[in-house]
Structure 1
Amino acid sequence: MDGLAHTPTDLHHEHQAPISRIVSEVAAQFPGARITLGEMGEAFGDRAFGLLILLLCLPSMLPGMASVFGIPMLILGLQMGMGRREPKLPGFIARQSIKREDLLRLAGASSKWLNRIERFVKPREGFFISPMGDRLVGWLTVYTAAMLILPGPGTNGPPAFGTIVMALGVVEADSRVVGIGVALTLAGCLFATCVLGALAWMGIQALGWIF
């Protein structure tokens, strides 16, 4: 495993890899103890959006880690939604780093449902890997990031899972998988919005009762 290779052509071949291999190859390309988001963004060019969103969203499947990565995801989603082809990270985000060991550990955090989806991923042309499809993915990533930043019981997992599927489809140029991810992300975000809305309503009612 020599790492995600250093040329765009070789990177294209790696689009076939499942999440566990993608994560392992990223870790192998950067031998240091920590890997910065800026380094990953520079290394993966026009596929950096999908890869960075994928890697930032994986920790959201673990308890207590979602909100930490919400702001970087928000910025990436805004840039993607506005039509940028490659991410331009502010310095304070580009300098954020992930431990190689944590990165490798995250590969095992994916659920059995995600593993099932990975088996069917392959390059497929279609709307969802077009420029308009990329913009849609970007704005849905913004929606997910907002749900991750806002606290709520059980509101992180569903949006994060759908966004991981979307990002996996982007990395591997699979329009069908991106489309599945779009549907899952939208459903997950709407669920989280309803939960947060219900909590806000109950809070307002409680304040009214107290005062």
Structure 2
Amino acid sequence: MDGLTQHAPADLPHEELAPISRIVTEVAAQFPGARITLGEMGEAFGDRAFGLLILLLCLPSLLPGMASVFGIPMLILGVQMGMGRREPKLPRFIARQSIKREDLLRLAGGSTKWLKKIERFVRPREGFFISNTGDRLVGWLTAYSALMLILPGPGTNGPPAFGTIVMALGVVEADSRVVGIGVLLTLLGCIFATCVLGALGWMAVQALGWIF
């Protein structure tokens, strides 16, 4: 991956941008250079960094032609969040990875129709899913989703990734309702992916039995 935008589009004031575009603009304003590392983002955004990093790692799965397997960084972030860490601590080889400004501009405009519908209703809302317990739940579900991204399977990346994006968006925007919707979508997506991978594994075992 490679950075984010420095300015809001000329025809839209910052406050009228959809949440993902606004988040991207915010990160770009914080880091005006052409590239930004994941480690720098983690340090700069404190307790919002988990949601922000997970969101940026998952968004490429919605764009054709961009790599969608960011499973290992997501797995690490998810486990740390699930264990109750307030800020991420990335291994050096992951913290050094950088994001290009042009790619992040594409991410800001790459939301799917369904994600754009959800974005319209995002606003700060108190509730269980933005509590410490809710954060832990989001973390472990992110780790589960990351495993589904790491393991190859037809159609198994999209559903868990989409739910994780919704969860992360809710975390960044402190919206308990959106996090809750994301939790449900992620769980359903991961169950679907697990069933597909399980069926593929069963068919592989059966095929080996026929061969040998």
TM-score, normalised via structure 2 length: 0.89
Describe how 1:102-121 pairs up with structure 2 within 5 A. Answer: 102-121=103-122
Q: Which runs of no fewer than 5 residues in structure 1 stay unpaired?
A: 5-13
Q: Aligned partner of 1:26: which letter?
A: V
Distance 1:24 1:156 in 2: 27
**Number of the residue aligned with 1:44:** 45
Aligned partners of 2:132 and 2:50: how far apart in 1? 13
Alignment of 1:24-103 (within 5 A): 24-63=25-64, 65-67=67-69, 69-103=70-104
| In 2, Cα distance between equivalents of 1:178 and 1:147 | 20
5 Å matches for 1:154-173?
154-173=155-174
Q: CA deviation at 1:179?
A: 0.3
Is the contact between residue 130 and residue 174 of structure 2 (CA under 8 Å) also seen in structure 1?
A: yes
User: Is the CA contact (8 Å cut-off) linking 2:6 and 2:32 kept in structure 1?
Assistant: no
Deviation at 1:109, TM superposition (A): 2.0
Q: 1-side partners of 2:84 and 2:167: how far apart? A: 17
TM superposition shift of 1:17: 5.5
5+ long unaligned stretches in structure 2:
9-14
AA of the residue aligned to 2:67:
M
CA RMSD of aligned residues (A): 2.0
Higher helix share: 1
Amino-acid identity (%): 86
SS at match of 1:84: coil
Alignment of 1:5-16 (within 5 A): none
Aligned length: 201
* Cα distance in 1 between the residues matched to 2:173 and 2:57: 17
- Secondary structure of the residue aligned to 1:204 is helix
Q: Structure 1, residues 2-54: CA drift from partner, whole Å, max 9, x if none? A: 779xxxxxxxxx8x961012113212322222210001111111100000000
The amino acid of 2:98's aligned partner reads S
Q: SS in structure 1 opposite 2:93?
A: helix
Return the letter of the residue paired with 1:149: I
Q: Does 1:200 align with 2:201?
A: yes
Answering whether residue 168 of structure 2 is matched by residue 151 of structure 1, we say no
Is 1:123 the counterpart of 2:115? The answer is no
Instruction: Report the CA distance between 1:131 and its aligned residue.
Output: 0.1
Report if aligned partners of 2:63, 2:110 keep a CA contact under 8 Å in 1. yes
